[in-house]
A and B are shown apart, each in its own frame.
Chain A
Amino acid sequence: MYWNKEAETIDAVSLSEQQAARLKKTVESLYSNIQFYKKQMDLAGVKPADIKTVSDIRKLPFTTREDLRENFPDGLLAIPKKDIVRLHTSSGTTGKPKAIFFSKHDIDAASDLMARSLYMTGLRNTDIFQNMMTYGLFTGALMMHYGAEKIGCMVIPAGPGNTARQISLMQDFETTAIHITPSYGLYLASVLQKQGLDPATDLSLKKAYVGAEPYTEETRKKIESLLKVDAYNCYGLSEMNGPGVAFECERKNGLHLWEDNFLMEILDPVTGEPIPDGEEGELVLTTLNREAMPILRYRTKDITKILPDKCPCGRTHRRIHRIIGRADDMFIVKGVNIYPQQIERVLMSVKGVAENYQINLENLDKMTVKVEIDKNMFDGKVEHIVTLRNEITERLKNEILVKPVVELLEPGTLPVSEGKAVRVIDTRTM
């Protein structure tokens, strides 16, 4: 049931002691080995000796994506280069990538967390794990690969794409678990359908690990029903090892964030002040078990909240809500903070609309949500379309507290997303 019972069910006091010890060690290493952090800490007037308990974290400076870029390629290394065994990069949408280095210890620790995460969902050494993520500089595929291998699964390093081959691999080797992006998961399901294959009888799939792109609960349900799997949400980012920072247990109700390896804070994205448990804010993470490239208070820009209740699975590491939005993507209409993901959540749950959408913001806070109708829903009746539009308007209003104008478009009208889709077009002028 547990990969590491002692670590996963640790009591609050012991966890806090462990975190404090690891934080101290991390800060000592940063301060004496990394010029950037020494400077930042000196500026903030804090010395490693000031860090005694977990709450002292608030004395320490933040690290932003820009800091990682400015110190590219190796300005944030805490150990000699000869002890580095791996480089990953995280593609930036603008400018230089971020370089992330790993020592042998770091790779082992990340693999172990990954194994812990996968084992938690019921993955065992009898499973056949087909990894449909991109291998390479991206951390996602390799870390999952290591975790599944560590459990003892047979891993098929299929990589993404070539759907016909994916399907024959799944059939020939009776794949029971896949690691996939949500968009590719939906695509795979549509290809299976076209080929007349029923996952329930023609495949052996049981689990899907879905990640690398944000998605909604509705998308998860869709993937589960189309592929006949239990789909698990994972959270991670290259700066923090990659996947396996937080993972869902079999309850699929929030993601256990491995607090023995990462110190978690939920802060107001603007002021940087702490936000009470249960309320939304930016996830800020500090590595507690990394040698090569420890990172202090990293601003993930991901918006989530802590689920304060105990999880019935017995693990004591606190759960976070699936990522609600990106601090960068947030926009304000009529004084209300809105994330595009909220709009997506509603649209995914409405029958009769396709997945593509666009939000247009015009002067005087006029908000228009454009969504394509599903061509199969069109039966020639005006009232069905009007009802659909009213339903979407009403449900959006309930979700975001602002009533948008909903415009229904013909399928294929909106630009198809390539990589990061532009969802919000803001033409407001002040």
Chain B
Amino acid sequence: MKVKQISVFLENRRGRLQEALDTIASAKLNIRALSIADTADFGILRLILPDPDKAKKALRKSNFTVSENDVIVVEVPDKPGGLASVLKVLNDADMNVEYLYAFVEKSGKKALVVLRTEKTLPAAKALKKAGIEVLPSDKVYSL
């Protein structure tokens, strides 16, 4: 249920995001989902890719500062209130969501959302118990 997400620290320098994306492209990895946390003077690029270890190695080799975190990928009904219903489950279970972002593509009729919570496994269990589809990592990487 845990999916590996790669985070890259990007200092505020022209072309730095491009360089990170070029590195991933050279490693022949197709980005499945991405988000950028952006502050006034630095950014953090978050990525879901088919082969997180390979991505990590390639980025480190190009001198990027990289860390790996566990996230959950859930299916969300693609209709008004869909995401709210998922978050309600976590809220009821008293679990904080640190951040979330959406996938580029859908699986069937549902939207895919990446969730980062304080505790990955309990959150995933709570979601499953509420009947929400939590995607296994192999399925995410092969999307």
Contact = CB atoms under 8 A, between A and B. Distances in A.
B7 to A, nearest CB: 3
Given A373-B65, A410-B10, A380 B42 contact: no
Contacts of A381: 98
B58 to A, nearest CB: 16
A412 interface: yes
Nearest to A380: B7
A251 interface: no
A382 interface: yes
A380 B46 contact: yes
Contacts of B13: 413
A373 B63 contact: no
A408 interface: yes
A308 interface: no
B67 A378 contact: yes
Given A409-B11, A413-B11, A385 B42 contact: yes
Interface residues of A, number: 16
Contacts of B63: 410-412
Nearest to B10: A410
A408 B65 CA distance: 12
A227 B86 CA distance: 53
Contacts of B68: 380
A351 to B, nearest CB: 16
B34 to A, nearest CB: 13
A409 B16 CA distance: 12
A385 B12 contact: no
Contacts of A39: none
A379 B67 contact: yes
Nearest to B64: A410
Interface string B7-35: 10111110000000000000000000000
B69 interface: yes
A410 B9 contact: yes
B5 to A, nearest CB: 8
B14 to A, nearest CB: 13
Interface string A384-410: 011000000000000000000001111
A385 B7 CA distance: 13
Contacts of A409: 11
B65 A411 contact: yes
A408 B41 contact: yes
7 closest A-B pairs (Cβ-Cβ)?
Answer: A380-B7, A380-B67, A375-B65, A409-B11, A380-B69, A378-B65, A382-B37
24 contacts: A378-B9, A378-B66, A378-B67, A379-B7, A379-B67, A380-B5, A380-B69, A381-B98, A382-B44, A385-B9, A385-B39, A407-B11, A407-B12, A407-B41, A408-B11, A408-B41, A408-B42, A409-B11, A410-B63, A410-B64, A410-B65, A411-B63, A412-B63, A413-B13
